[in-house]
């Protein structure tokens, strides 16, 4: 596999200028209809609806994957199902399974037909192009009782057990859609995300009721930078969505006051119960912790909001999931993205003639930059990290999140240079970028490498004049994806970048499909022709 030095034309870097273009180009999709606001706190999840039935199904592991039952659709009114469940009395596992199958349409019980994409018989880029229609879903009006959230436009799912649209997955998927000329699908997914903000006040983790109490890393502004619009109404609607998302992320419960009085944000979740989709696992983790279970549940949920579920980043002892303390950590990736969001809002407001707004958000971005440089920079380690509010210091250990200040342009020139050096020394593996340097068995740790983090690295390193290192990351990762594709005919959600094979760890088997891997691979192939 060969690669060439990247051309600057068509570069997908997210900049304030790109955001301005996104708010001022041309729109082709018809206008979204007005939507009514919904209080997420009032939406019932499957755990709310089915109570002790739900707990029995999940804790007794009637289905191997905890996500199966929460995605099931009731065949009749939940109240009727619960009435019959309580009247039936005690059931063994076989009886409980039979009861569920009689009362719910349960997904994933029968293997889905393998799509005709050519498999290993075609080059990987063509295989990915053929996968887009397989992963694309039409506008969704959920059936009665479903946990799915309505979506007004077509969208792309990751694949495998992930049957819905996910927030930060969307951005990395869109990179590939854009590279493959699927601009209309990029536009429709942005419309879907804007619609979610308008209804719920934020983009949920994924488009299910059980994800509404949290979000994921805020990439909406970056998505908009990929898709120019000119229609005044669309521009205004997008800008309003960004402002509303900023307000969501800066509420008091998500805000940490640093020692100098400045504020930065952390991950959070509005609920303090086990996650619906990982109920059994969360109950067991909380039981093993010796801590108040509500505290553990919120930290697990906040870890899920980070997208890094789970990682040594969030573990106070670096190894044990029961030590998770996500909400006590000020993360560098989140605050770097919020810096980008604030810059994007300032640019959009200036374009709209909202001078006070533009000035306010310019100042907010500058304040955040200074706070990140002061509190999330580790001088001794020459890298960015996460601030531990208990230890009152940056947590030890370099992780791929160190590259987010480079991705968004927040980092100073010197800090960017030193971060690149630390990345090359500690995170660059033979087959891509490691997620961390710690092996815990969690999926967001060594030896795994993830497509979105490769893209963050390539973009950030290129921006800070380390194109050589960016190219090395890209070549090694795409070569790993290619080798696995040639072996299995699949594109996976994660890879072992030390052994060049499928990744592992975490709460479920490695999934194939896979939206963000497809997207990043196609964007990198476009960046480095011949790869």
What's the mean pLDDT when you consider all of the chain?
93
Report the number of secondary-structure helices (H) and strands (E) in the chain: 19, 16
Pick left, alpha or beta for residue 265 (phi over 0 → left; psi -120 to 50 → alpha; otherwise beta).
Answer: beta
Query: pLDDT grade, residue 112 (50/70/90)?
Result: low
Where are the alpha helices (H) located in 250-376, listed in sequence order? Answer: 279-289, 293-306, 332-351, 355-375
Query: pLDDT grade, residue 119 (50/70/90)?
Result: low
For residue 217, the Cα-to-chain-centroid distance in whole angstroms is 6
- pLDDT at position 11 over 50: no
Check the CA dihedral 354-360-366-372 and report its sign.
Answer: negative
- pLDDT at position 5 over 60: no
The set of residues, in sequence order, having a beta carbon less than 8 Å from that of 490 and lying 6+ positions away, is 484, 512
Check the CA dihedral 420-426-431-433 and report its sign.
Answer: negative
Q: What is the model's pLDDT at position 388?
A: 98
- 505, 442, 168, 453: which is closest to 315 by C-alpha? 442
Considering 191, 269, 277, 493, which one is annotated as catalytic? 493
- pLDDT tens for 321-331 read 999 999 999 99
Active-site residue 309, yes or no?
Answer: yes
The set of residues, in sequence order, having a beta carbon less than 8 Å from that of 302 and lying 6+ positions away, is 214, 266, 267, 268, 269, 314, 326, 327
Rounded Cα distance between 222 and 235, Å, is 15
Rounded Cα distance between 385 and 375, Å, is 9
Rounded to the nearest 10°, the torsion over CA 95, 97, 98, 99 is 90
Q: Which residues pair with residue 502 across a beta bridge?
A: 495
- pLDDT at position 526 over 60: yes
- pLDDT at position 31 over 80: no
- pLDDT at position 15 over 60: no
Question: Which of 17-21, 463-467, 496-500 has the weakest average pLDDT?
Answer: 17-21
Q: What is the model's pLDDT at position 103?
A: 98
Q: What is the model's pLDDT at position 114?
A: 61
- pLDDT at position 84 over 80: yes
Active-site residue 493, yes or no?
Answer: yes
Q: Which helix (H) or strand (E) holds 505?
A: none
- pLDDT tens for 182-228 read 999 999 999 999 999 999 999 999 999 999 999 999 999 999 999 98
- pLDDT tens for 447-459 read 999 999 999 999 9
Taking the whole predicted model, whether its pTM rises above 0.85 is answered as yes
Considering 191, 299, 309, 459, which one is annotated as catalytic? 309
Mean pLDDT of 520-531: 94
The set of residues, in sequence order, having a beta carbon less than 8 Å from that of 283 and lying 6+ positions away, is 59, 274
């Amino acid at each position: 596999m060969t690669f060439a030095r990247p051309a600057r034309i068509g570069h997908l870097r997210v900049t304030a200028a790109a955001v301005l273009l996104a708010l001022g180009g041309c729109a082709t999709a018809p206008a979204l209809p007005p939507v009514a606001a919904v209080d997420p706190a009032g939406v019932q999840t499957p755990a709310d609806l089915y109570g002790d039935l739900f707990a029995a199904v999940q804790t007794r592991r009637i289905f191997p994957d905890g996500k199966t039952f929460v995605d099931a659709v009731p065949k009749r009114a939940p109240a009727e199902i619960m009435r019959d469940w309580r009247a039936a009395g005690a059931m063994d596992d076989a009886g409980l399974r039979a009861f569920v199958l009689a009362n719910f349409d349960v997904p994933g019980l029968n293997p889905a037909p393998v799509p005709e994409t050519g498999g290993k018989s075609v080059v990987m880029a063509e295989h990915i192009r053929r996968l887009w229609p397989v992963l694309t879903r039409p506008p969704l009006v959920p059936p009665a009782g479903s946990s799915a959230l309505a979506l007004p436009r077509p969208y792309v799912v990751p694949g495998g057990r992930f049957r819905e649209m996910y927030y930060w997955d969307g951005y990395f998927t869109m990179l590939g859609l854009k590279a493959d000329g699927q601009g209309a699908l990029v536009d429709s997914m942005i419309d879907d995300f804007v619609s979610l903000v308008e209804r719920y006040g934020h983009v949920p983790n994924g488009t299910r009721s059980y994800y509404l109490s949290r979000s994921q890393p805020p990439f909406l502004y970056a998505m908009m930078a990929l898709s120019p619009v000119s229609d005044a109404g669309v521009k205004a609607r997008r800008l309003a969505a960004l402002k509303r998302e900023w307000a969501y992320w800066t509420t008091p419960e998500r805000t940490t006051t640093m020692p100098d009085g400045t504020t930065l944000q952390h991950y959070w979740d509005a609920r303090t119960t086990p996650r619906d989709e990982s109920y059994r696992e969360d109950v067991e983790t909380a039981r093993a912790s010796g801590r108040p279970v509500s505290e553990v549940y919120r930290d697990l949920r906040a870890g899920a909001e980070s997208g890094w579920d789970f990682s040594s980043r969030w573990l106070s002892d670096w190894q044990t999931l029961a030590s998770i303390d996500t909400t006590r950590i000020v993360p560098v990736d989140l605050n770097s993205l919020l810096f980008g969001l604030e810059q994007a809002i300032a640019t959009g407001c200036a374009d709209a003639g909202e001078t006070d707004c533009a000035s306010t958000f310019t100042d907010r971005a500058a304040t955040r930059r200074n706070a990140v440089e002061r509190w999330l920079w580790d001088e001794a380690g020459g890298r960015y990290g996460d601030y531990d509010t208990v230890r009152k210091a940056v947590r030890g250990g370099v992780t791929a999140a160190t590259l987010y200040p480079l991705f968004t342009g927040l980092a100073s020139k010197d800090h960017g240079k030193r971060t690149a050096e630390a990345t090359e020394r500690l995170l660059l593996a033979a087959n891509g970028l490691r997620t961390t340097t710690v092996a815990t068995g969690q999926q967001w740790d060594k030896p795994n490498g993830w497509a979105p983090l490769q893209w963050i690295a390539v973009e950030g390193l290129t921006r800070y004049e380390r194109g050589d290192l960016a190219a090395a990351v890209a070549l090694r990762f795409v070569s790993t994806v290619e080798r696995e594709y040639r072996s299995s005919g699949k594109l996976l959600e994660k890879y072992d970048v030390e052994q060049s094979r499928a990744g592992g760890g975490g709460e479920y088997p490695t999934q194939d499909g896979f939206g963000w891997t497809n997207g990043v691979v196609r964007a990198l192939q476009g960046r480095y022709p011949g790869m």
